[in-house]
Structure 1
Amino acid sequence: MAVFGYLWFPLVLCTVVFFFLIRATRRRRLRLPPGNLGLPFIGETLQLISAYKSENPEPFIDERVNRFGPIFTTHVFGEPTVFSADPETNRFILQNEGKLFECSYPASLSNLLGRHSLLLMKGNLHKRMHSLTMSFANSSIIKDHLLVDIDRLIRLNLDSWTGRVLLMEEAKKITFELTVKQLMSFDPCEWTESLRKEYVLVIEGFFTVALPIFSATYRRAIKARTKVAEALTLIVRQRRKESEAGERKKDMLGALLAGDDGFSDEQIVDFLLALLVAGYETTSTIMTLAVKFLTETPLALAQIKEEHDQIRAKKSEMEPLEWTDYKSMPFSQCVVNETLRVANIIGGIFRRSMTDINIKGYTIPKGWKVFASFRAVHLDHDHFKDARSFNPWRWQDNSGATSPGNVFTPFGGGPRLCPGYELARVELSVFLHHLVTRLSWVPAEEDKLVFFPTTRTQKRYPINVQRRNVSKLCKD
């Protein structure tokens, strides 16, 4: 038996060597984008993480673009990856979702979101669910149904702010409460706050090693995910009973239960869980960074205060904002655009090639990862004048964009365009309105941005707030 094993070992070794030789020969025949695969197995992952844990990750991109061009090969997170800092290539990747490319995310993210999440869905099911999500976050729905709750919940939260406030934490409470309300019609309560605390643990596990034995953070995230799923399952079962009895609410959960698709409880829970993450994490970060950038740009802060003071002067103190008010915030939209461009909450997207793909004179081999970097394009001086400075006035006449074409993609594009992009804009605009009309603030201490594993401030952006006299701004 031992002799048999000794005979098999050389055969297996030769087979493995032959496989890698064949693959290497094939790669040589292909014209891969230039680049550096770095160390064996590790690649350039450590350099990438080190750069993105700093306040200035741009050198990681700049050095490689200067050396290899806007499309280059690297090796990160265990796989060879083609990195694109080219807007045309990024657009090509986005538009060919499901044809030439398919979504591909780290195992930790996939496991925690669940296999039925919108992020991981493919084909016709993704199209249907994406369309359903957009139908609950379009302009007419926001105008007729959501705006009143957005205004009410933001005012309710800001009214409790006093003294020293951790802005990022408070913003996360706001966006979580808004998302729970929109998805399941829950107002803030002990249950929603308990759910939010578990969500924090889930999100912390997104970019960890997906092996519980090696990562305590991932273990905590898996346990928290189980608790969140159990809590949502109870709600889904209760609402299913109510729906069968003829009681129906006009929210996302109601639509999922009333549809003809016959979704299981597990499918609905995964779907809701992923939407809660999407609405909670990204929008709260945008809120925080908009305030940070405005605070560091006094002229912009003064101008946005003037815009919102004028809106409030036409209303009584407790009168909610209406759709016409939202539409009369032109400078606020400039601030929103510039915050999205500079902050790059979604720095880019990973995809996997479904076949050998020829683009820009190079070949991306089948099965390779690609990363379309929105951040690299948004902060490129060839596309935006003085690209790494916060300048909301550039959007007043689009004078800040120095090249034509679709170079501004904060919400992605193609079939996976973020379905909540308009809702995020409205929530941020309403938040800025009540913030600048009700409060004044100064930073409590210095804080800086980091970009790994997600974009955030290191200290959650502490500020000292004082209340403004809103009644002086309002009509009698």
Structure 2
Amino acid sequence: MIKDHLLLNIDESVRSFLANWEGKTIDLQDRTVEFAFVIAFKLIVDSQSSVIYDNFKSEFDKLAAGTISLAINIPGTAYHSGMQGRTRVVKMLRQVIKERRASSVVHSDILGQIMSCENQKYHLTDDEMIDQIITMLYSGYETVSTTIMMALKYVHDNPKALQELREEHLAIRARRKPEDPIDWDDYKGMRFTRAVIFETSRLAAVVNGLLRKTNQDIELNGFLVPRGWRLYVSLREINFDPILYPEPSTFNPWRWMDNGLENHNYCFVFGGGTRLCPGKELGMVKIATFLHYFVTQYRWEESEGIEIVKFPRVEARNGLPIRVSKY
């Protein structure tokens, strides 16, 4: 589906979003958050199909903030605000589903694909469809926005990496007319871009950890973990283990050019075991396409005083303003 349907839509969205940035000072953090949510919403619930988008994001932001707050459901707390936001999000999505059932228009977005199965034996209820949409939106926008922001931050601070990244993408553009979109072969050939994404995700992990349940007794570093116990795997500790990643605090995308590193048993950049992130490839395509057009069209300089924090979430505390100029 990504190769045949979504990549072209992503390409068009990125081009449109990045148009006219030349000569402006922008907050990269705010703009990448906006981009990631707009593109996720368009792919999942086409924003052209409803008027709900203007109100949707503000309520969804409350929902997202509530997921990392203490579960105290009283007025004035982030959790309470998040629960209210979710109620309004659900109401808006129900309206979209209702409008679509009353219309003869066929939608090619992800919600359209889900609804196309309604007449089959196995189909989702409205509540299940809404849960799926919320899950996909939640999992697909903060990870994408933060990884784009931090990737541009890291390559800005590492001119050698920026040069190699830019050369990879300029080589793609040299094979195409200016108006041509990238295709699946172009994406699969972005080896250094993929390495930059993996290294960025290692250093600035959006997800702090994974939860797993033991299905048998296991011994872990001399300790017995009984069957049925739940384990929390801290990704930050693993990602900065000097045995696994020499000089772990250094941004070194070249370490990922050996494809075996992506597949070793301790690589949890996109989850671990049999339950890898289902949106891995879609997220990679969004990030790679954004980087492709940004580094081939623009140069940028950061403003002074940028402060990055990585807990409880990765963010630029006071924003990440950059001055953009034509490449």
What is the TM-score normalised by the length of structure 1?
0.63
Q: Structure 1 residues 200, 351: CA separation in 2 closer, same or farther (over 3 Å shift)?
A: same
> Does the CA-based 8 Å contact 2:75-2:81 persist in structure 1?
no
Instruction: Give, in whole Å, the separation in 1 of the partners of 2:85 and 2:326.
Output: 37
Quote the residue 1:429 is aligned against: 288
Instruction: Give, in whole Å, the separation in 2 of the partners of 1:193 and 1:467.
Output: 31
Q: Deviations over 1:293-323 (max 9, x none)?
A: 1111111111111221222222222221122
Instruction: Give, in whole Å, the separation in 1 of the partners of 2:25 and 2:49.
Output: 22
Quote the residue 1:456 is aligned against: 315
Q: Deviations over 1:240-295 (max 9, x none)?
A: 334xx6x5433322232233334222221122111111111111111111001111
Deviation (angstroms), 1:156: 0.8
Q: Deviations over 1:159-181 (max 9, x none)?
A: 14352211122112212122122
**Is 1:155 matched up with 2:53?**
no
**Is 1:363 matched up with 2:241?**
no
- Pairing of 1:298-377 with structure 2 (within 5 A): 298-351=159-212, 357-360=217-220, 361-364=222-225, 369-377=230-238
Instruction: Give, in whole Å, the separation in 2 of the partners of 1:397 and 1:366.
Output: 36
> Does the CA-based 8 Å contact 1:358-1:364 persist in structure 2?
yes
- Pairing of 1:22-421 with structure 2 (within 5 A): 141-161=1-21, 163-187=24-48, 191-213=52-74, 215-242=76-103, 247-259=105-117, 260-351=121-212, 357-360=217-220, 361-364=222-225, 369-397=230-258, 405-421=264-280
What is the TM-score normalised by the length of structure 2?
0.89
SS at match of 1:464: strand
Deviation (angstroms), 1:359: 2.1
SS at match of 2:211: strand
> Does the CA-based 8 Å contact 2:32-2:148 persist in structure 1?
yes
Letter in structure 1 aligned against 2:28: L
Instruction: Give, in whole Å, the separation in 1 of the partners of 2:48 and 2:296.
Output: 24
SS at match of 1:452: coil
> Does the CA-based 8 Å contact 1:164-1:444 persist in structure 2?
no
Q: Deviations over 1:374-410 (max 9, x none)?
A: 22222111111212210111222369x6xx9422121
Q: Deviations over 1:33-87 (max 9, x none)?
A: xxxxxxxxxxxxxxxxxxxxxxxxxxxxxxxxxxxxxxxxxxxxxxxxxxxxxxx
Q: Deviations over 1:308-364 (max 9, x none)?
A: 122222222222112222123222122112112221222321245578x33234233
Letter in structure 2 aligned against 1:394: R
Letter in structure 1 aligned against 2:60: Y
Q: Which moved more, 1:209-218 or 1:309-318?
A: 209-218
Q: Structure 1 residues 215, 209: CA separation in 2 closer, same or farther (over 3 Å shift)?
A: farther
Letter in structure 1 aligned against 2:313: T
> Does the CA-based 8 Å contact 1:205-1:218 persist in structure 2?
yes
Instruction: Give, in whole Å, the separation in 2 of the partners of 1:205 and 1:188.
Output: 28
Q: For structure 1, which runs of at least 5 residues remain unmatched after alignment?
A: 1-140, 469-476
Instruction: Give, in whole Å, the separation in 1 of the partners of 2:49 and 2:174.
Output: 29
Q: Deviations over 1:421-453 (max 9, x none)?
A: 111111111100110111111112332332333
Instruction: Give, in whole Å, the separation in 2 of the partners of 1:413 and 1:193.
Output: 36
> Does the CA-based 8 Å contact 2:204-2:310 persist in structure 1?
no
Q: Between Structure 1 and Structure 2, how many residues are aligned? A: 321
Q: Structure 1 residues 226, 445: CA separation in 2 closer, same or farther (over 3 Å shift)?
A: farther
Instruction: Give, in whole Å, the separation in 2 of the partners of 1:338 and 1:188.
Output: 37
Letter in structure 1 aligned against 2:297: R
Q: Which moved more, 1:213-222 or 1:307-316?
A: 213-222
CA RMSD of aligned residues (A): 2.4
SS at match of 2:101: helix
Q: Which moved more, 1:155-164 or 1:213-222?
A: 213-222
Quote the residue 1:56 is aligned against: none
Instruction: Give, in whole Å, the separation in 2 of the partners of 1:161 and 1:192.
Output: 23
> Does the CA-based 8 Å contact 1:208-1:215 persist in structure 2?
no
Q: Deviations over 1:203-251 (max 9, x none)?
A: 1111212123275222222222122111111011222334xx6x54333
Please identify the structure whose Cα radius of gyration is greater: 1
Deviation (angstroms), 1:190: 6.3
Instruction: Give, in whole Å, the separation in 1 of the partners of 2:67 and 2:17.
Output: 28
Q: For structure 2, which runs of at least 5 residues remain unmatched after alignment?
A: none
> Does the CA-based 8 Å contact 2:218-2:227 persist in structure 1?
no
Percent identical among aligned pairs is 32
Letter in structure 1 aligned against 2:108: K
SS at match of 1:320: coil
Instruction: Give, in whole Å, the separation in 1 of the partners of 2:92 and 2:75.
Output: 27
Instruction: Give, in whole Å, the separation in 2 of the partners of 1:363 and 1:234.
Output: 51
